[in-house]
Structure 1
Amino acid sequence: MNPTPIRSPLAQAAITRAVQLVEDDGPLEDGQAMRQSFAAQADGAGRVHERAALLGQRLGLGREWARWRHLGGGVVLVLALVVVFAAWGLARVVLGDAREINVVAAFVSLLGLHGLTLLLWLASLLVPLPTAGGALGRWALQLTARLPLDRGPHAVQLARATSDVLGRARLAPWAFGGVSHGIWTLSFVLLLVALALGFSLRAYRLTWETTILTPEFFVQFVRATGWLPQRLGFAVPDAATLLQPALAGADAQRAWAWWLLGCVAVYGLAVRVLCGLWCWAMWRRGQGRLRLDLADPYVRRLLARFEAMEPAQIIDVEHAADAPVRALVRAAPETAERWLLGFELPPETEWPPLQGPWHTQRIEGTQQERAAVLQALAAAPPHKLLIACHAPSSPDRGTERFVREACGLAGACGLLLLGARQEADAARWRDWLQRGTLAKVQLHTEAQAAQAWLEAA
């Protein structure tokens, strides 16, 4: 099983988080994925991502991400068309059949919603909230995830994971905002085309009117809004035209039209383009924050399991043992899916305690024997490993390290207590398992129950 070749930082982080969300409902069978990721990557974060990629392929997350890449552009285009149709409707209102346009009302109609959404996005940068900023971008993600076209069973979890990852990395306003600014940019381009065509092919009379406001208000409003467009070459009506719009000639009407086009181009299109470039730059700069959170309890558990798979280092090797290490352990068949391993059992203990089609091995517990067993397990990881220990003995840190490392190399692990004389023996081992990192190891005090567990699929 090979992982889907999706290696962008966002894809890695989102798929890893999605696997975590799936495992919140119960751990996945990951023996093979653990072994493959352990062998494929050298560092802990890389192994966690590799494991998620392998499990994600099995869950269809990699295929779902690829589906998003194919459908995402279409969804963004559809949302852009929705905004464009809304803008076109506003343009039709502005350039209606009446041939008379209230320029201030047109200014508010064309730029009002844009200004409101822009202010909300800017506010999300100052007061970050889980769902703040870039509403159109969030809608694009949710629509892409929920489209029924070849949708996978975990599409919703992947969408939630993507939002979680972007929020944790403080990239949500930039990612979703960038998509929103792109949609608005496209809508303003088409809106300007519609306005330019309307003003070019039809004659309009542009004016202003009010009931409670003074003429001086409109003079100051047009001058203030026209200051920047005028610096960029757009015409602005003069004071006489502003104070007496009804007497304005053709040149004054052209100045009104250029003022309106300039305001839409500068305060609409140019602002969205600049914000989009800002989002792109901040996204590129902040992608490093998508790295794995090594303090997350879920990640720490995985790192502990990978650490347990590291081969044991032999310290103070007995020089009398000149034979090769592999000779200390009887070779297991390549097809052995189950192991029964005796660990530090007294010489008088009957061996093996269970009879069956599995590989049996007994070691005294020397450093060389432990290293040889771990090497054999790593070479051919079994589906199940049952370790038989002496119940009256007290487990120590050396026993815990060996059991942890051996169990990390098997799909499932159990512990069989032999020679228990009283219930306190089993209770001591049970408490030891629960206190350490071996809580998932199956503890057996009866040989019959252990055999049934070992034989089960």
Structure 2
Amino acid sequence: MLLADRTVLEPCVTQPSLLETSWLTEAIRLREEHAGPLEDLEANRLARHGGGSLATRIEHRATRLAQRDGVDTALRHWQQGARLALIALAVMALLSGSGLAFTALGDGLPPVNVFWALGSLLGLNVLLLLSWVLGLLLSGEHGASLGRLWLWLSDKLARDAKAAHLGPALVLLLQRHRLNRWLLGTLIHGLWLLAMLSALVIALLLLATRRYGFVWETTLLSADTFVALTQALGTLPGLLGFNVPDTDMIRASGDAAVNLEATRQAWAAWLVGVLVVYGVLPRLLLWGLCLWRWRRGCSQLRIDLDLPGYARLREVLMPSSERLGISDAAPAVWPEAQAPSGQVGNQGALVVAIELDDQHPWPPVLPATVQDAGILDSRESRQRLLDQLTRFPPARLLIACDPRRSPDRGSLALVAELARCATATRVWLLPAPMAQTLDPERLDDWHVALNALHLPHSPQPPLAWLEHGDD
């Protein structure tokens, strides 16, 4: 039912919501703050290429890093844990409400003291409701214990090591936008609403299936006090159509339980009406208010660009030259950099080599329509080519690798990053230079690694494929 906004609890099935994007961005910021900057060259490049404001680029970068490192999957696990925690708390609320009704009415053998029953049904609820209102008015914070319990259960049920920063990130994000009060208010009032509804249903079942007598007792107070109090509490329920005992019924019930059907029904209706008006309706209205404020606040979430973790990204994601409207011209390997319509399509073919030594002559003999992007042997050359491939992705890309080298993580990551910039990619495992042979085990390692990347590979250059798009 109604315990929290589904934007918090639903998994990121396709595109993350605004809350999920801000949440992931804050989690990445906390992770970098505690463990140092992440390897983010590709994420930064794609964020720059995506354009937009600095905040948009930071969120794009964080989303890419979260997808790469599995934080988005951890977020889904955390949300599943949050749903399970809410279900557990809802079951506790239902059981608690049922217990309140049984405690207030009993088994029907002794007469029911109406004010003791009313105190059992509404006493704790009213006290906590008043404390919530006072906390909201005075400090703006409330429900910290229940909130910590929910977060703790969510973390425990998530069972994902990568979710370590998600809980703190959510807390900081909500506190910064003053949304924690409305999320916890939705949670608190939703749980109490379930408890009150459960108590109401059980009370109606007991009153419908058992014969109860009602009395009130006092030693210090006069009968007029109870008459006035009963009628005052019954004013609002009476406006809603609930029966209220008249003065004679109230006075007669002070000595012993009146065995008249009309009197029993009047007291039962009064008790149910008071429970509805002072127990169920306030929680329902406050739950609706908190839910509305929560959803409204989630639609206006913005990251704080003044935070140190975001401020350092300004020059990286939005360089000064770009903000002034200056962009570098495409290099010579891109003779047709832009289509006439202004939108660059995936076209042409490109060959690039990774860390070749002097024993491999480069470039090889290529068809006239195939461009040579050179040898990537430095961080700057890699970044320059990746920037150009992001802006002008080719239709076909051939990556030449020297299988005498081990397929280390860095080389494979570069191959995968290059492959993501082209429509189709193949790998050319170069033959051994003259008077040398390839190590079969190392060559097999290359085959296994490239198969894991789902990249076709061969010892011969697929020139026909590069030139015409097929073999």
Letter in 1 for 2:31: V
Partner of 1:185: 193
Alpha-carbon distance in 2 for matches of 1:255, 1:359: 88
Task: State the shift of 1:9 in Å.
Answer: 2.0
Partner of 1:12: 21
2:89 to 56, 73, 79: 79
Matched, 1:122 2:133: yes
Partner of 1:279: 290
Matched, 1:226 2:234: yes
Alpha-carbon distance in 1 for matches of 2:27, 2:85: 22
Deviations 1:179-229 (A, max 9, x none): 222222222222111101101111111111123333233222212211111
- 1:151-300 to structure 2, matched below 5 A, reads 151-245=159-253, 246=256, 248=258, 249-300=260-311
- 1:277-356 to structure 2, matched below 5 A, reads 277-308=288-319, 311=322, 326=331, 334-335=352-353
Alpha-carbon distance in 1 for matches of 2:379, 2:309: 34
Report if aligned partners of 1:181, 1:273 keep a CA contact under 8 Å in 2.
Answer: yes
Partner of 2:64: 54
Other structure's SS at 1:204 match: coil
Alpha-carbon distance in 2 for matches of 1:8, 1:325: 36
Q: Relative to 1, partners in 2 of residues 1:106 and 1:156: Cα closer, same or farther, differing over 3 Å?
A: farther
Deviations 1:227-265 (A, max 9, x none): 111100011111122223126322112111111111111
Other structure's SS at 1:147 match: helix
Letter in 2 for 1:305: V
Alpha-carbon distance in 1 for matches of 2:319, 2:351: 24
Report if aligned partners of 2:85, 2:157 keep a CA contact under 8 Å in 1.
Answer: no
Deviations 1:311-351 (A, max 9, x none): 59798x9xxxxxx873599xx9844579xxxxxxxxxxxxx
- 1:298-447 to structure 2, matched below 5 A, reads 298-308=309-319, 311=322, 326=331, 334-335=352-353, 358=377, 378-379=387-388
Partner of 1:425: none
1:23 to 32, 57, 62: 32
Report if aligned partners of 2:81, 2:153 keep a CA contact under 8 Å in 1.
Answer: no
Q: Relative to 1, partners in 2 of residues 1:229 and 1:137: Cα closer, same or farther, differing over 3 Å?
A: farther
Alpha-carbon distance in 2 for matches of 1:183, 1:264: 16
Report if aligned partners of 1:241, 1:247 keep a CA contact under 8 Å in 2.
Answer: no
Report the more deviating stretch, 65-74 or 11-20.
Answer: 65-74
Task: State the shift of 1:14 in Å.
Answer: 1.5
Alpha-carbon distance in 1 for matches of 2:116, 2:220: 15
Task: State the shift of 1:64 in Å.
Answer: 2.3
Report if aligned partners of 1:4, 1:57 keep a CA contact under 8 Å in 2.
Answer: no
Other structure's SS at 2:214 match: strand
Deviations 1:338-373 (A, max 9, x none): 9xxxxxxxxxxxxxxxxx983599xxxxxxxxxx99
Report if aligned partners of 1:99, 1:203 keep a CA contact under 8 Å in 2.
Answer: no
Q: Relative to 1, partners in 2 of residues 1:4 and 1:86: Cα closer, same or farther, differing over 3 Å?
A: closer
Other structure's SS at 1:111 match: helix
Report the more deviating stretch, 180-189 or 167-176.
Answer: 180-189
Letter in 2 for 1:299: Y
Q: Relative to 1, partners in 2 of residues 1:373 and 1:7: Cα closer, same or farther, differing over 3 Å?
A: closer
Q: Relative to 1, partners in 2 of residues 1:373 and 1:84: Cα closer, same or farther, differing over 3 Å?
A: closer
Q: Relative to 1, partners in 2 of residues 1:83 and 1:328: Cα closer, same or farther, differing over 3 Å?
A: closer
Q: Relative to 1, partners in 2 of residues 1:260 and 1:202: Cα closer, same or farther, differing over 3 Å?
A: same
Alpha-carbon distance in 2 for matches of 1:59, 1:357: 26
Partner of 1:393: none
Other structure's SS at 2:123 match: helix
Letter in 2 for 1:304: E
Task: State the shift of 1:376 in Å.
Answer: 5.2
Deviations 1:24-67 (A, max 9, x none): 22221211211122223422111111111122234432112222
Partner of 2:414: none
1:107 to 95, 118, 124: 118
- 1:129-148 to structure 2, matched below 5 A, reads 129=140, 132-133=142-143, 136=146, 138-147=148-157
Partner of 2:6: none
Alpha-carbon distance in 2 for matches of 1:83, 1:202: 25
Paired positions, count: 340
Other structure's SS at 1:292 match: coil
Report if aligned partners of 2:94, 2:198 keep a CA contact under 8 Å in 1.
Answer: yes
Gap regions ≥5 residues in structure 1? 318-323, 339-355, 362-371, 382-457
Gap regions ≥5 residues in structure 2? 1-11, 335-349, 357-374, 391-471
Partner of 1:427: none
Alpha-carbon distance in 2 for matches of 1:259, 1:333: 85
Matched, 1:34 2:53: no
Report if aligned partners of 1:133, 1:172 keep a CA contact under 8 Å in 2.
Answer: no
The TM-score normalised by the length of structure 1 is 0.66
Alpha-carbon distance in 2 for matches of 1:314, 1:306: 14
Report if aligned partners of 2:101, 2:203 keep a CA contact under 8 Å in 1.
Answer: yes
Partner of 2:372: none
Alpha-carbon distance in 2 for matches of 1:60, 1:217: 66
